[in-house]
Chains A and B, each alone.
Chain A
């Protein structure tokens, strides 16, 4: 996590830090992991069934959808954009998958291919319009949110489509590992996402674009294709999330994932990704996803009332952002 100050003047520096690598990682993620550990400790104290393999594995197998979305969202936020259409794109790819498999008898790989194609295309359209024509991505993706939701209802005739066991394997735990393929691939997406962001030219350009687009242009780099590609990646992540959710439910739900874009944004922000662009980490967003899910599962397990659940969840989000702002201020002072 580097502050914006580190990027001043747009210098892509490779920093050779003498500290041990593990210490560095500890410093970078320490705060977030402490929050997560604390939540787990509190819930374990409240319910003897919380810190059990069954509960933890349940949590792991529930997060793939949000994890995929958070990976895409982190990249979008880093280039200084926002993608509000992810919930609808998730539902659309899920609907395409469901209708092709259940109504037309397509095999899963073919149906999934089409779903990914459509999701990726919608993401590209988001990027092309917002980046290409300089229109705020907030409004472009808000439009896509409505369009894709409407398309979902057209595709499914507003009926939930039951698919059954052909799709279930992806979201259900493998017997020997007790983890689902969806979870393993979601974790892989986090690792690849973090690698791309920190170790490739593409990733460093993304950070640079989010920090100071004008400086990037002045350096003779064409920012547009990179920013569009980021929106396309977000679209593809929606396709993956669609598969993950569909397989977990065995059903394509046209009303599914309404409002999940806010959870994805919250996960990124809890992880310290800046809404202003230029700063963020995929791994931190993943920890943000874990915090949200642990909170949700824990509160359900100890049976906190619905109203209090919302109050607590909301407070944790605001606090995380507050802490981030504080951290920023401190780093500027020093």
Chain B
């Protein structure tokens, strides 16, 4: 009796899973945006793994799309595998991805690390396995790199300088006596979050503006909305909110609106995602910084290709960060 039962179960599950997987692989064969180029092509072409943070975040999906466009334009030079993690905090999964890419025999890894410290040992092991590693977006911790005795070139923007551009612009816009602001920080463990906070703080200090509240909303819109709301009820006198990324700035817009303070409280962000551009045009957000995310991964891939072609591992490369305001958007 039970044998029959299990046979039926096995058969059924087999059928369903086959169906499911073939659906999955079909969809990826027929031009899924993530795998570009065939995985099983000649050994002469290097395979590069791009490991991102959350691809649900537009900033990173734009970056991935930029890389895929670059790959299809240079399809004869390399193959690309793109992977991201579910949310920005899932660094255990990102370490696992590095290990999986090493196991699958890629030639280079270009990575936007979810944590500036925890990824270092895994990347050290990847390098030891003879894989070219390039760090983009979020710079790895210098002390840990030294402790682990490994050098990994960093290709990315100076977040501190970018945050200063945004902060200085806001400082000039804020007039009168209401010179108190609040900051929505990113995840405090990330180097980007720390750099952007430093940039904001430096600008505010120079403009003589007081930061009355500074909390982490972990890069997330809904969390930023909750925290910004409580900031506004705790400090109704604040005249601006500085968000360390645009998702959090969008969360702050809704909080300011529901507090009925839309006319009074100015908001700035960072990253220049599409949604924020509309908000800037409508005047709900004052400014953001564009670090040319779509090109960021491409810069990293180019550095990796150069190193694969036999050039010595380069120094860190700084990519441009530009201020985006209503004026710059209308000029386009």
Q: Is A142 an interface residue (CB 8 A)?
A: no
Measured between beta carbons, the chain B residues less than 8 angstroms from A52 are 103
Interface string of A270-305 (1 = CB under 8 A from B): 000000000000000000000000001101111111
Measured between beta carbons, the chain A residues less than 8 angstroms from B55 are 305-306
Bound-state Cα–Cα, A299 to B21, Å? 10
A331 to B5, Cβ gap below 8 A? yes
A27 to B2, Cβ gap below 8 A? yes
The one of B1, B9, B101 in contact with A327, judged by C-beta atoms closer than 8 angstroms, is B9
Measured between beta carbons, the chain A residues less than 8 angstroms from B3 are 27
B105 to A49, Cβ gap below 8 A? yes
B5 to A330, Cβ gap below 8 A? yes
Measured between beta carbons, the chain B residues less than 8 angstroms from A251 are 115, 117-118, 121
* CB within 8 Å for A305 and B34 given contacts A162-B144, A323-B13: yes
A38 to B96, Cβ gap below 8 A? no
Interface centre among A164, A255, A330, A331 (most CB of B within 10 A): A255
Within B89-137, the residues touching A (CB, 8 Å) are 89-93, 95-97, 99-105, 115, 117-118, 120-122
Measured between beta carbons, the chain A residues less than 8 angstroms from B24 are 299, 304, 308, 311-312
Within A143-173, the residues touching B (CB, 8 Å) are 158-160, 162, 164, 168
Measured between beta carbons, the chain B residues less than 8 angstroms from A46 are 25
Measured between beta carbons, the chain B residues less than 8 angstroms from A245 are 92
B17 to A162, Cβ gap below 8 A? no
Q: Is A54 an interface residue (CB 8 A)?
A: yes
Q: Is A319 an interface residue (CB 8 A)?
A: yes
Within A39-58, the residues touching B (CB, 8 Å) are 39, 42, 46-50, 52, 54-55, 57-58
Q: Is B56 an interface residue (CB 8 A)?
A: yes
The one of B10, B20, B56, B91 in contact with A34, judged by C-beta atoms closer than 8 angstroms, is B10
* CB within 8 Å for A249 and B83 given contacts A49-B103, A297-B100, A305-B28: no
- Chain B: CB-nearest residue to A334: B1
Give the number of residues in A that approach B within 8 Å (Cβ atoms): 63
- Chain A: CB-nearest residue to B55: A306
A316 to B20, Cβ gap below 8 A? yes
Bound-state Cα–Cα, A250 to B141, Å? 14
B6 to A27, Cβ gap below 8 A? yes
Within B1-58, the residues touching A (CB, 8 Å) are 1-3, 5-10, 12-14, 16-18, 20-22, 24-25, 27-28, 32-35, 39-40, 55-56
Q: How far is the CB of A65 from chain B (nearest CB, A)?
A: 7
Measured between beta carbons, the chain A residues less than 8 angstroms from B6 are 27-28, 30-31, 327
A305 to B32, Cβ gap below 8 A? yes
Q: Is B187 an interface residue (CB 8 A)?
A: yes
The one of A50, A54, A158 in contact with B188, judged by C-beta atoms closer than 8 angstroms, is A158
* CB within 8 Å for A55 and B100 given contacts A304-B32, A308-B28: yes
A249 to B118, Cβ gap below 8 A? yes
A58 to B27, Cβ gap below 8 A? no
Within A239-259, the residues touching B (CB, 8 Å) are 245, 248-251, 253-258
Bound-state Cα–Cα, A315 to B6, Å? 21
* CB within 8 Å for A38 and B17 given contacts A305-B34, A334-B5: yes
The one of B121, B147, B189 in contact with A160, judged by C-beta atoms closer than 8 angstroms, is B189
Q: How far is the CB of B29 from chain A (nearest CB, A)?
A: 9
The one of A38, A50, A159 in contact with B18, judged by C-beta atoms closer than 8 angstroms, is A38
Q: Is A135 an interface residue (CB 8 A)?
A: no
* CB within 8 Å for A65 and B92 given contacts A162-B144, A255-B189, A308-B24: yes
Q: Is B216 an interface residue (CB 8 A)?
A: yes
* CB within 8 Å for A305 and B91 given contacts A49-B105, A249-B121, A334-B5: no
Interface string of A225-269 (1 = CB under 8 A from B): 000000000000000000001001111011111100000000000
**CB-defined A-B contacts under 8 Å, sample of 30:** A28-B6, A31-B6, A35-B10, A38-B13, A38-B18, A42-B18, A47-B39, A54-B103, A57-B103, A58-B103, A61-B99, A158-B188, A162-B118, A162-B141, A249-B118, A250-B121, A255-B189, A256-B91, A300-B101, A301-B101, A303-B32, A303-B34, A303-B83, A304-B34, A306-B34, A306-B86, A311-B24, A319-B16, A319-B17, A320-B13
Interface set of B (CB-CB < 8 Å, partner A): 1-3, 5-10, 12-14, 16-18, 20-22, 24-25, 27-28, 32-35, 39-40, 55-56, 81-84, 86-87, 89-93, 95-97, 99-105, 115, 117-118, 120-122, 141, 144, 147-148, 187-189, 216, 218
* 5 extra A-B contacts, CB within 8 A, seeds A38-B21, A164-B148, A248-B92: A158-B216, A162-B118, A164-B121, A251-B118, A303-B81
Interface set of A (CB-CB < 8 Å, partner B): 27-28, 30-31, 34-35, 38-39, 42, 46-50, 52, 54-55, 57-58, 61-62, 65, 158-160, 162, 164, 168, 245, 248-251, 253-258, 296-297, 299-306, 308, 310-312, 315-316, 319-320, 323, 326-327, 330-331, 334
Q: Which 10 A-B pairs have the closest CB atoms?
A: A303-B35, A251-B118, A255-B89, A54-B103, A305-B34, A49-B104, A250-B121, A58-B103, A31-B10, A162-B117
